[in-house]
């Protein structure tokens, strides 16, 4: 057993790299030739010897070193490597910003937002500020009980926003997982809320998938008496089945009528921020019927930038409500057929009626799919196959549009 005078007067011969003075229970004082004296505790783990630094003498006294040794022994007896436990404690203490829900949420958000589209980032930030921060923002993440989070999300449900409440839970889940990863909280409490919120089944856009009913719609579209711009957009919607925002914001510079191709820039596609900035454009083969519609529209809007300019400003496209209103005028309310629903119409009938290759269909829909090796599928592939499919689809629409329902 060491004494304080022995520790104070301990020296190391100049011809030795170090000198060790043993105390008890694996504790020893290591003295170097330059006069420094450090405490270490020696222990064994998985049959191998390890050691744990306990500080320098005299900053850490003999009695303090013995207490630190005893704490480390208790930690090891509990099945935890004391050296690793101390590393974790240091990492937990390396979060100077704090551990409130607001701090952790914004820290997670700042790391994720650069990889999101601007619209998605704005929507997520707004939901934090409106639905979560007012009730949980200043609470320590580790102190928040599942029942508190549930009560907060039910406030959203009570205003009828079931989808928003579901999205709020998904955001909270990401915050808790980040909190676990950064040592702010021991576990993800959002798992306890499974099944506690009203189920949200996602939004499905109404879509006609029966040939006879679709033929009736095609005939109604051809009989539409509205203006030429909305009429052209309405006619092209089922033929090309691109997203409403992509079609209505089309520019003449993107369209090559001679080559029968419409090249949508990556920045206008529904993608992540990286996909918008660095992804390839989405190429849409134009069937003969689409080219004819666009050539006819060119006489009205070809002098400007937008293919479908709005009435108030020729530099801005028509609104999504323009085609939606046209469909309602024709008797097709949103519970029967939507503009976006033409994508589901085409996806279903191309597979079931025309027996097209699902990969080619997904490519035309601009969906990223995986090949057999797990690699992301290139949206610009299958141009020849897609051109053939699009012509078959346009011809199919012509055919069913001519067949009258049997009495």
Tens digit of each residue's pLDDT (9 = 90 or more) over 62-73:
999 999 999 988
Question: Residue 407: what pLDDT?
Answer: 46
Residue 15 pLDDT exceeds 90: no
Residue 229 pLDDT exceeds 90: yes
Is residue 377 annotated as part of the catalytic site, yes or no? yes
Helix (H) or strand (E) holding 88: helix 82-92
Q: Among 343, 347, 379, 386, which one carries the catalytic annotation?
A: 343
Torsion of CA 221, 223, 229, 232, to 10 degrees: 50
Residue 375 pLDDT exceeds 70: no
- Average pLDDT of 233-257? 95
Question: Residue 92: what pLDDT?
Answer: 56
Mean pLDDT value across the chain: 88
Domains of the chain: 4-92 (3.30.160.390), 101-193 (1.10.150.130), 211-402 (1.10.443.10)
Q: How far is CA 228 from the centre of its chain?
A: 39
Q: Among 270, 276, 324, 353, which one carries the catalytic annotation?
A: 270
Cis-peptide into 156, omega within 30 deg: no
Question: Residue 296: what pLDDT?
Answer: 96
Is residue 367 annotated as part of the catalytic site, yes or no? yes
Q: Among 243, 248, 282, 379, which one carries the catalytic annotation?
A: 243
Q: Among 86, 140, 213, 367, which one carries the catalytic annotation?
A: 367
Is residue 243 annotated as part of the catalytic site, yes or no? yes
Rg, the chain, Cα only: 34
**Token pair 């910003």: residue:** 97
Residue 374 pLDDT exceeds 80: no
Q: How far apart are the C-alpha atoms of 107 and 177, rounded to whole Å? A: 12
Q: How far apart are the C-alpha atoms of 35 and 230, rounded to whole Å? A: 88
pLDDT bin (cut points 50, 70, 90) of residue 203 is low
């Amino acid at each position: 057993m060491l004494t304080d005078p022995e520790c104070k007067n301990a020296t190391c011969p100049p011809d030795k790299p170090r000198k060790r003075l043993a105390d008890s229970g694996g504790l020893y004082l290591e003295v170097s030739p330059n006069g420094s004296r450090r405490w270490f505790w020696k222990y064994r783990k998985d049959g191998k010897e390890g050691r744990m630094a306990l500080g320098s003498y005299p900053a850490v006294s003999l009695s303090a070193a013995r207490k630190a040794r005893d704490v480390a022994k208790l930690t090891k007896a509990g099945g935890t490597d004391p050296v690793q436990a101390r590393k974790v404690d240091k990492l937990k203490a390396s979060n100077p910003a704090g551990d409130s829900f607001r701090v952790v949420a914004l820290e997670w958000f700042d790391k994720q937002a650069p990889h999101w589209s601007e619209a998605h980032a704005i929507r997520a930030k707004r939901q934090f500020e409106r639905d979560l921060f007012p009730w949980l923002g200043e609470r320590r993440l580790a102190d928040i009980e599942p029942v508190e989070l549930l009560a907060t999300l039910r406030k959203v449900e009570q205003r009828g926003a079931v989808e928003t409440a579901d999205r709020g839970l998904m955001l909270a889940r990401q915050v808790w997982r980040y909190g676990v990863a950064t040592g702010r909280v021991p576990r993800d409490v959002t798992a306890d809320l499974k099944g506690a919120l009203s189920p949200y089944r996602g939004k499905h856009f109404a879509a006609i998938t029966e040939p006879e009913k679709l033929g009736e719609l095609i005939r109604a579209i051809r009989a539409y008496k509205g203006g030429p711009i909305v009429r052209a957009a309405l006619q092209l919607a089922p033929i090309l089945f691109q997203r409403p925002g992509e079609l209505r914001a089309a520019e003449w510079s993107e369209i090559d009528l001679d080559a029968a191709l419409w090249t949508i820039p990556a920045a206008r596609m529904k993608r992540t921020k990286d996909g918008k900035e660095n992804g390839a454009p989405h190429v849409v083969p134009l069937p003969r019927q689409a080219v004819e519609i666009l050539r006819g529209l060119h006489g009205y809007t070809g002098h400007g930038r937008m293919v479908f300019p709005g009435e108030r400003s020729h530099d801005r496209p028509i609104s999504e409500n323009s085609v939606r209103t046209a469909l309602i005028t024709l008797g097709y309310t949103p519970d029967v057929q939507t503009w976006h629903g033409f994508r589901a119409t085409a996806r279903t009938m191309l597979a079931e009626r025309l027996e097209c290759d699902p990969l080619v269909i997904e490519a035309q829909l601009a969906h990223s799919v995986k090949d057999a090796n797990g690699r992301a599928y290139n949206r610009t592939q299958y141009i020849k196959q897609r051109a053939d499919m699009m012509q078959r689809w346009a011809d199919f629409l012509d055919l069913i549009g001519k067949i009258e329902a049997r009495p």
